């Protein structure tokens, strides 16, 4: 049975607003919540970036369902030992509710602040793979010492949960997905064309991920009119038109503004599902479920969060559940 979740976008909204909206989403019938983890927003118009780990403690206390977090444990903002300790602490307080950490190689936007040159993709991949091993060893209660590419000296976690969160891979390309198939407990990617999503899913399975959960973050823009929905998408999420290389290497919101200065509102259909029709959004979700995604997290990119939560809770989520096979 596919789960439909709410995405809490720290780049766009204050932690207090997101706390209230996570509660509202749960009450409206969303099955789970996914949180971003940013130091800087993608644009000055977005204007926020609260500390996701602090927010998660409050959000888990204020709600009852499961959460996932997209984070980067590769030794810049977060050393993997600290990532492991933070996750273990939350999982001990809220058993089985921090369901997964989606681990990625990061963006300079968030990580460059610690200084030094931003490494290339190969080095970042190696650091991620090492970080995953370190976190798993710590979750198992072992003492860890490593030299490179991330130094760890006699680290051990003394507070451990009964069940640690799954470590899933965040991937935007088939190449990254295939490389993660062996080590990751699952995969999360972002809405693209059906052909590109199928290629990513197949690559993950080919690399060793067959039978593991597939998660999808979907950028949508819902509003009362198509025109308003498009304005919202253009104002808040034109950064999604960046290439993967640009999104990983640009260092400031100003750099991103410059790189996306030529993006037009009509260009966003390739990146954001824009519609005022709940039925159209339902059809998109049903296509995602048919494509094999187990968890689908909806990120309404506009600032009209309560409107989105209310409309989807009343008109979309019940129809998703009604369309599920009786055997689920």
Q: Which residues contact 322 (CB under 8 A, 6 or more apart)?
A: none
Going by C-alpha positions, the residue among 62, 78, 76, 84 that lies closest to residue 8 is: 62
Q: Are 90 and 60 in contact (CB under 8 A)?
A: yes
Q: Which of 7, 11, 26, 38 is catalytic?
A: 38
Q: Which two tokens stand for residue 176?
A: 């990254």
Q: Are 237 and 268 in contact (CB under 8 A)?
A: yes
CA distance 199 to 279: 27
To the query of whether residue 107 is one of the catalytic residues in this protein, the response is yes
Task: Measure the CA dihedral 90/93/96/100, to 10°.
Answer: 0
Q: Which residues contact 104 (CB under 8 A, 6 or more apart)?
A: 70, 71, 72, 128, 169, 170, 171
Going by C-alpha positions, the residue among 130, 125, 143, 113 that lies closest to residue 40 is: 113
Phi/psi of residue 101, each to 5°? Answer: -110, 125
Whether the link from the prior residue into 149 is cis, omega within 30° of 0, is yes
Q: Which of 107, 111, 137, 295 is catalytic?
A: 107
Catalytic residues: 38, 107
């Amino acid at each position: 049975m596919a789960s439909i979740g709410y995405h809490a976008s720290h780049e766009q909204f204050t932690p207090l607003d997101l706390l209230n909206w996570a509660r509202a989403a749960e009450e409206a019938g969303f099955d789970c919540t996914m949180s971003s983890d940013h130091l800087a927003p993608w644009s000055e118009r977005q204007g926020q970036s609260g500390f996701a780990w602090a927010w998660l403690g409050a959000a888990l206390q204020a709600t009852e369902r499961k959460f996932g977090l997209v984070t980067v444990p590769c030794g810049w903002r977060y050393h993997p030992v600290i990532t492991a300790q933070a996750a273990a602490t939350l999982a001990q307080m809220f058993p089985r509710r921090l369901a997964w950490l989606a681990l990625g190689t990061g963006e300079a936007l968030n990580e460059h602040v610690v200084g030094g040159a931003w490494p290339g993709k190969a080095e970042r991949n190696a650091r991620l793979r090492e970080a995953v091993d370190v976190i798993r060893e710590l979750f198992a209660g072992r003492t860890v010492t490593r030299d490179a590419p991330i130094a760890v000296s006699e680290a051990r976690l003394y507070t451990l949960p009964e069940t640690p969160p799954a470590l899933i891979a965040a991937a935007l390309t088939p190449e990254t997905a295939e490389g993660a198939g062996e080590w990751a407990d699952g995969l999360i990617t972002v809405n693209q064309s059906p052909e590109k999503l199928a290629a990513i899913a197949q690559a993950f399975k080919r690399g060793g991920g067959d039978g593991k959960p597939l998660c999808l973050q979907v950028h949508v823009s819902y509003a009362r009119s198509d025109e308003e929905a498009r304005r919202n998408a253009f104002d808040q999420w034109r950064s999604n038109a960046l290439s993967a290389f640009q999104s990983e290497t640009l260092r400031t919101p100003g750099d991103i503004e410059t790189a996306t200065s030529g993006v037009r509102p009509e260009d966003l259909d390739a990146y954001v599902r824009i519609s005022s029709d709940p039925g159209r959004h339902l059809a998109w979700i049903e296509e995602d479920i048919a494509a094999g995604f187990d968890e689908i997290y909806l990120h309404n990119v506009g600032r009209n969060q309560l409107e989105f939560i209310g409309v989807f809770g009343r008109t979309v989520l019940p129809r998703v559940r009604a369309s599920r096979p009786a055997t689920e």
